[in-house]
Structure 1
Amino acid sequence: MTTLITRHVLSLPETGRKVHYRRCGRGPILLMVHQSPRSSAEYEDLMRRWGKHFTCIAPDTPGFGQSDRLAHSDGRDPEIDGFADALCAFLDALGVGQCAAYGFHSGGIILVNAVKRQPQRFSCLAIGGYAIWTAEEMRVFGEAYLPEFHPSAYGEHLAWLWNRMLEQSWIFPWFDTREEARLSVAHADVPRVAQAVSEMLDAGNAYRAGYGAVLRAPRDIPEVGADVPPCLITAYDGDPLQSHIDRLGELPASWRAEKVATPEAHQDASLAFLKEHGAAATCPPLAEDAFEGWIDCDGVLIHWRGEPGAKRLVLHEPAGELRAPGEDEVAIDLPGHGQSDDAPDIQSVLAMVMAHLDAVEMALPALPEGDPVHLYPDMTPDRFGAYLQRAWQIARAEAFFEPWYDASAVAAVPLDPVRLEPAALNARARARIRAGDAARRWHETLLQMEEKR
């Protein structure tokens, strides 16, 4: 039986900053901190496996996934201490005292800095790859590793993004095309690259703040005599940080670092270490917001936002996303759209949502004009990232014609420059990419629902 991953939102009491987190399993809490520029989604498979031993809690770090970014101070991006303190503030708001923790690459950097600031918060750490950059490596990274990332009017940024995420597994760093920079773990795993692209689109240019803080962070391991919880650092063959194991220097007595052969060996060693040293306390009730969350519809998670107890359910158009709800309203991402799981039978899911919310009215969107076959072309990620450009060009055409595929004077709509601004194009293209084939199925469902009225 697959262990269910649930999703939650928690607004921190002092700042109001929203943190999105995933939860899976039972038993003592294991905090899992993802690498940059990813999100907690990268841990889903691992959470299902480790959820047999722990209550796995994986937040999106500030500015990534669905979590708000940290506030700027004097116009400057926050440093690593800000991200470490944000992690501890999340644990406080969640109602968690001491727990075990796991982090991969930059997630490990955040955790080590959190341990140095609040060692009592953690029973143990397991880390996958810990970077100890030389001064020259830091200089190179500072100049080229984190370029600005903004939507461009004609989608050029998407071509860069696809290749950056794909080729990061071929060479490291991603811009170093020397033979010496080749990696042994090269792949062209389309779903894996598409997931990383999606997470980068969520972060936008905010990725530079979170990733930059990690790259600028001091790499000082706690002193040999420091009173810190046990820690295991491992790195596998092909991981560009495996050679950094030799750079760690002398470690605290309860710390050790090892090179291992495979990603599976790293995960197995990490799990064994966490089980040996992790806190044995059971998981307390965990806090979450009352005005946003996910409804479990027989294993299908549906994202909702609005007023608890609202009687009116507001639905968005195909290839769209959750609309901001008004007074006495609650809105959802339709199955397969936005932050909701996909489901073959949309009407059954809607019935479960209505029952869960105790809603009595459903506000349907206007049905888009056009043939569903042409309105919703295939958005399946492909080897060359062409689906990204397809979505972007549709977003542009939507500002000129209705339906968008009918480029004729008859289908022309009044031009609104706002709809052609890169931010607006980005929002529509991203929503269409997320929806994929679910957009056509929602359109067809709307047709059926309209016929019954």
Structure 2
Amino acid sequence: MRLTRHFLTLGTRRLHYTRIGQGPAVCLLHASPCSAKVLQPVQEVFASHFTALAFDTPGFGLSDLLPQDPPEIEDFADGLAAALEALGVDQASTYGRHTGASIAVEFARRHPARCAMALTDGFPVFSAKAAEERLARYLLPLVPQWDGGHLLWLWYRYRDQHVFWPWHNQTLAFRADTDAPEAAFNHRGVVELLEAGDGYRIGYAAAFRHRGLAVLPELTVPVCFGNRPGDSQHRTMAAYPPEAWVQEMPRDPLAAAAAERAILLRHRPRGAVPPSPLATPIPGRSTTNYVDVGGRQVLVRVIGDLHAAPPLVIAPHVPGSSALYEDLLRALGIPAIAFDPPGHGESEAAGEQGPEAWAAALWGVCDALGVKAAHLLGHNAGATTVVAAAASRPDRALSVLLDAPIALPARLRAEWAPRWAPDVLPAWDGSHLLRMWHMRRDMGLWFPWWDRRLENARATEPMVEPARLQAEIREVAKNPESFAPAWHSALAWPLPERLAALPQRVAFLAAANDLFVQCLDLALSLRPEAKLHRSGDGPADKAAAIRAALAGIA
């Protein structure tokens, strides 16, 4: 069985979920501040007998916030009902952890005809005093800091959530009965906090405001309140009334998942789950979906009618993702595609990193979308993608636009490629996050970034605003194992030689403060016939320059 990822359009918002297995539906709902990724081991166990659907609850992962301000758990439950209706699922069981447990139970209460049963892994039970304290002290603002210090705060904030309960009461009385998380687990949690941003507090707060055990008399479908030793809610088992179905689960997560599956099998939902539909357009933004390229799911963003005219395909800078080009897509006003190369952003990992592999993915995306020919735009290291793509399929590449391409002479390629990227694999102390942050920050201050002599100081505005850096770090941190290989491949690749040999018409773009604007002179010298279109850094200015470049080479 293969786990697949999907987007669903619900009015003006987007919902992301994963799917695996066959049979009746069970909906998995994660704890705050995580995403569906944390539930994948459980999802795979359930998939032996069910179609296991794990949702990024609104405001977390890749799902949009709910429109209510503020939303309550009841709104999240109604949102789940709307999602199941859009998926054509008549009835489902619900399984939730912590915040997700509140949603699972509330769904059973509010939509009993749609719910075969609910099963919880740590249903939140708080006294009024504890809930008030959580709302006041637990949910601190997430504010980007210039020095990246908030990344370390997030690292230890998420770690201590598993060491103390609540995390801010760091005394022996509040020590958790569990191991500290491993570095990779903690890293995923930090990335998910960065995905939610300061809005992580919205869904979290709803759980603290929920009525908790007060909903029990109103439940009309079976609800099993499971609790595991080592979980923060295990100590609340004595608070349940005698008539409640309370079950202690094994401490081991996979053993608990097997026990939970056996309970779910007692009350199987009726009906099957239809194939997942594609997300439909939302006015004013790109449409996100996954397409299959070489047996791997690749995330694509599409705006406009791809068959009205040959579209523009944007190859993002790597390491990075298409999420950083969403505002540009909205501003373009022409049919366009952006994608996450395999192993970057939200696309599945590939075994190979490098321009040829990224170029193959580009044409694979076009094939999946029914695009026969396109204009190509590559930004920074994305220039290697489009030059490789244009060289491999000159019959399909109508023109090549290069936005501040990383064009280096052979000597600098040999010197810089091995040392450009530091090791950013998750470290026990979170220090890899600071390496990511300060590498990127110093890229805005020196060129090359590690040679911090005055003669290498950049003479342009440095582009080191904390919010900008946080957005970029969030995307590259999703795949730390691809970070160094992608940088090495992009810098070592002979872009100048390949660019000079391209048969297509070429145009250049650049913002004055682009991180690789210093490479323009070499690139321009290789294609003296190509016009340079300068622009500001904002998406509207960049979009105008792109339209002018396309008009000039049409």
Fold-level similarity (TM above 0.5): yes
Q: Map of 1:118-133 to 2, 5 A cutoff? A: 118-133=111-126
SS at match of 2:477: helix
Matched, 1:428 2:472: yes
Is the contact made by 2:104 and 2:119 (CA closer than 8 Å) also made in structure 1?
no
Q: Over residues 307-336 of structure 1, what are the superposed CA-to-partner deviations in whole Å (9 max), with x where a residue is unaligned?
A: 455644210112222123442221101122
Matches within 5 A, 1:10-409: 10-13=8-11, 16-73=12-69, 77-224=70-217, 226=218, 228-251=220-243, 256-262=245-251, 263-290=253-280, 291-307=287-303, 308-309=306-307, 311-322=311-322, 323-324=325-326, 325=329, 326=332, 327-346=334-353, 347=357, 348-359=360-371, 360-361=373-374, 362-366=376-380, 367-368=405-406, 371-409=416-454
Query: 2:421 touches 2:488 (CA, 8 Å); kept in 1?
Result: no
Residue 276 of structure 1 and its aligned partner are, at CA, apart by 1.9
| 8 Å contact kept, 1:4–1:299 | no
Which residue pairs with 2:4 in the alignment? 6
CA distance in 2, matches of 1:436, 1:284: 35
1:29-48 CA deviation, whole Å, 9 max, x = no partner?
11111110100111122222
Q: Distance in 2 between matches of 1:109 and 1:99?
A: 16
SS in 2 for 1:401: coil
* Contact in 2 for aligned 1:28/1:54 (Cα 8 Å): yes
Alpha-carbon distance in 2 for matches of 1:450, 1:23: 43
Q: 2:464 corresponds to which letter in structure 1?
A: L
TM-score where L is the length of structure 1: 0.90
Q: Is the 8 A contact 1:24 1:57 kept in 2?
A: yes
**Counterparts of 2:257 and 2:451 in 1: how far apart (Å)?**
52
Deviations 1:321-378 (A, max 9, x none): 2123442221101122211122123514444334323443443333436622222211
Write the distance in 2 (CA, Å) between the matches of 1:357 and 1:345.
23
Q: Which amino acid aligns with 1:424?
A: R
Name the aligned partner's letter for residue 300 of structure 1: R
Q: What letter corresponds to residue 256 of structure 1 in structure 2?
A: W
Equivalent residue letter for 2:436: A
Of all paired residues, the percent bearing the same amino acid is: 28
Aligned residues: 441
Q: Which whole-Å CA distance do the structure 1 matches of 2:460 and 2:278 have between them?
A: 43
Mapped partners of 1:260, 1:105: distance in 2: 15
Bigger Cα displacement from structure 2, 185-194 vs 366-375: 366-375
Question: 1:42-70 CA distances to partner (integer Å, 9 max, x unpaired)?
Answer: 11222222222111111111110011112
SS in 1 for 2:478: helix
Q: Is the 8 A contact 1:311 1:358 kept in 2?
A: no
Structure number with greater Rg is: 2
1:238-286 CA-to-partner distances (Å, cap 9, x unmatched) read 11211212112144xxx51122332344322211111220214121233
Query: CA 1:72/1:154 → structure 2, altered by over 3 Å: closer, same or farther?
Result: farther
Question: Structure 2: how far apart are the matches of 1:34 and 1:203?
Answer: 14
- The alignment yields a C-alpha RMSD, in angstroms, of 2.2
Call closer, same or farther: CA 1:393–1:56 in 2, change over 3 Å.
same
- Distance in 1 separating the partners of 2:131 and 2:156: 23
How far does the alpha carbon of each residue in 1:92-115 deviate from its partner, in whole angstroms, 9 at most, with x for none? 222222111111111011121222
2:114 & 2:214 partners in 1: Cα distance? 17
Query: Is contact 2:18–2:53 with CA below 8 Å preserved after alignment?
Result: yes
User: Structure 1: how far apart are the matches of 2:223 and 2:186?
Assistant: 31
User: 1:227, CA displacement in angstroms?
Assistant: 5.8
Q: What is the distance in 2 between the residues matched to 1:59 and 1:277?
A: 21
Instruction: Give 1:434 shift.
Output: 2.7
Q: Provide the C-alpha distance between the structure 1 equivalents of 2:342 and 2:446, rounded to a whole number of angstroms.
A: 27
Give the 3 Å change call, closer, same or farther, for CA 183–98 of structure 1 in structure 2: same
| Distance change in 2, residues 1:448/1:294 (3 Å) | farther
Contact 1:372–1:440 (8 Å) recurs in 2: no
Normalising by structure 2, we get a TM-score of 0.75
Which letter does structure 1 place at the counterpart of 2:350?
A
d(CA) in 2 for partners of 1:351, 1:445: 19
- SS of corresponding position for 1:420: coil
Give the whole-Å Cα distance in 1 for the aligned partners of 2:261 and 2:497: 54
Q: CA deviation at 1:126?
A: 1.3
Query: How far has the Cα of 1:25 moved from its partner?
Result: 1.3
Which ranges of structure 1 fall in alignment gaps of 5 or more residues?
A: none
SS at structure 2 position matched to 1:220: helix
Partner SS for 2:113: helix
Aligned-partner residue type, residue 422 of structure 2 = P
Structure 2 portions without partners, runs of 5+:
281-286, 381-404, 503-554
Q: 1:437 to 1:196 in 2, by over 3 A?
A: closer
The 3 A distance-change label for structure 1 pair 188 and 258 is: closer
Q: Which has the higher contact order (CA 8 A, sep 6+)?
A: 1
- Classify 1:48/1:265 alpha carbon distance in 2 versus 1 (closer, same or farther; 3 Å): closer
Name the counterpart of 2:456. 411
Answer yes or no: is the 8 Å Cα contact 1:376–1:437 preserved in 2.
no
Name the aligned partner's letter for residue 378 of structure 1. D
